[in-house]
Structure 1
Amino acid sequence: MTAPSAAPPSLARLWDLYFIAIEIAVAAAILMTDTSAERKWLSLGTVAAMVLLHVTIGARLIRTGRDDVLSFVVLACHIVLFAVVAIAMPVATWLLFVIIPMAFQLASLRVAIVAVVAANAVPVVADLVTGSGSVLMDLVIAAISATAGILLGFWIIQVIRQSTDRANLIAELEASRAEVARLSHEAGVTAERTRLAGEIHDTLAQGFTSIITLVQAADPGLRDERLALAVRTAKENLAESRSLVAALAPSALDSGLLDSVRRQAARFTEETGVQALFRTTGEPRDLPTAVEVVLLRAAQEALTNVRRHARANEVGVLLAYSPVPAPSASASLAPASSPSAFPAPASPSSAFPAPVSSSSVRVVVRDDGCGFDAGAAGGFGLRGMRARAEQVGGTLTVRSDPDTGTTVELEVPA
């Protein structure tokens, strides 16, 4: 059984105009008919009731393509009202021009065919009730009208389906065009990031390397404190430039987010001598490139802040794919052999919290350093992390205390 299709807005508006025009024409014909005033007022009231029923309920049902009890009741009411006006005023049989197409818009195909046959039988019944007119002639006209109405209904259904398919195709084309534009934008952003990474690598990184080499050649033992300070500063900035290159270059994620974050922790240990413990929870899964870039950059920036400010003895990096069981979420990153690496939290809420979203990915970087005032911190690094998190609908949380160190957590729905 084929359900009615929702009429496109343009066709629905045309149908409303057609319906009102036929009703007005029939009402005018009723007014010009030479009959009693009672019949005229009864017929005009019935026509007005049909218009009111269509305007308040029927039009909305046709636009939504509903096929339920309400649409069946509305169609049945129209047929009953049509029967009343046709019996009272035979000229009102012209309303078949709206009853027949309406049946195919309000009901399934089988129900609509039955409704069309019933509506075309109304004039025959009216002849039998009033005793006027030729029953045989009206039967022939009803048969022709019903056949033509059913064929018209099939045509109406086909037109609505074609219009709906065309509208869906246009929507798909527009969505495809938007997707192409998005991909082109991402390709342009990736190309620009690659260019910037190359520029940083070829200029700043190489320059810092040259400075370190020249200073150490002039004073291999770095006995001069000023030269030693210059070398330390150059090394810190070299590490920062390398982090920027890793963040900008698409190759930073060639092996996936999990391996990339693990490498960042290992690189931190190699460059600073501070142990960075890495662990992951949950089942790793593929993520959109934009989300992976934001998570990787958050880990890089947090580790950079630890290197520059925390004076930490140990760092923990957690990559958690939800759903994360509560025990795993609150577990310490330190191995059993070094239980004091991360001080035990005062309460469960100070441990790694469970993700807010039931489907998300978190990167958490904790250190046991000196901490800072998280409320007053307004550095570029944290602002940048927050801005990138907002771009992908994520949330950045920073907790810091002189006794327990600092925790930077970025959660992204994914």
Structure 2
Amino acid sequence: MPADVPVDQPARGLDAWDGLFWLWDVFFAIGSIALVVALVQQPGATAADKVATVGALAAMAVWYLCYGRPNIVAAVQSPVRGRIFMGVNLALLVLGVAFEPTMSFALFAVCPMAFMSMCLAEAIAFVVGANLVPVVSALAEAGVDAAVRQLVPGTLFLILFSVLMGTWIVRVVTQSQERAELIQELEDSREEIGRLSREAGVAAERARLAAEIHDTLAQGFTSLVTLVQAAESELDSDTEKARKHLTLAARTARENLTEARSLVAGLMPTALGTGSVDQAIRRQCERFTEETGTPVTYQASGSSVELPTTLEVVLLRMVQESLTNIRKHAKARNVTVSLRVNDESANLTVADDGAGFDPDVPSDGFGLRGMRTRAAQVEGTLSVHSGPDGTKVELEVPR
């Protein structure tokens, strides 16, 4: 998931409607005030009944503000506190209805709080029991006929309405919780993808640097070792030839230093900075002949001037690696390098008449593996044929 996609983040079930929870507070306050007014103006009730009923209602409001509401809006609700809260509410409701039946209108506030504070099954059981309180009170005072005639129809409707409405609200809250969990999982997945992408980028960069170091510095040091050893062996017998090898070693060291600086600066290979890839390959062939004495025949056809830099780098590195392998292992007498460029592809071939090897045998070296990796990076094809008569490495890359 892209990092700039906005995502809603309800952290818990009630967060989906926490912004509108004040509406419930307003409803509770208005309902409580209206019920107090109705209780005070209730005809036929004694002053003591009114005081007791209003006191029960006031206690219910204070109990909600101090104990029930903090648990309802908490990040993690306590089921035990929810049961205690609704148990006290039920006791206050019974107390109020015992003094004045009009107190039963408090059920419009008590029933919703049951679904806010307890699980669905407990809330339904509470709502059924709480709505039966006025019926039981009427049975005790007016008898069965009056209770059935006056309260049972309304009570059944109120129970049904409360259960249906409460169940719907709980399902909405549950869906909000599931949606919050899904969003959190998506965010976690996005973070994991980002972490894996960063790790993949680091690994790719390490592989790139390893290939660059192998194709530049390591090959340069190999040349230096070869030239110094040659100079050391000829120092007593042929001073002029030894001096020539040392001169080539000094030039190689300077070129290696320039390659190292270019690698640090993230620039293109220095051999490509002063001409086309055709000229760079030709210089590599001449340098190989100077250092080893092995003649290299270079052939080029087509125009390589318009090749992309990425392809030029791959072609040059392929020549460098092939010549390094020939120097180290082949003991060849002749080497042929061919570059053919057309409108669709560039084809590079490096062949020698040396000892050869088995390309199918796994090797601990980086050479062939690095060549195949570079070829794959530009969607090219690398083929290696080797035997007793020599080795032929061919690379074809699309333009």
TM-score, structure 2 as length reference: 0.48
> Which structure's CA Rg is the greater one?
2
Question: What TM-score do the two structures reach when normalised by structure 1?
Answer: 0.46
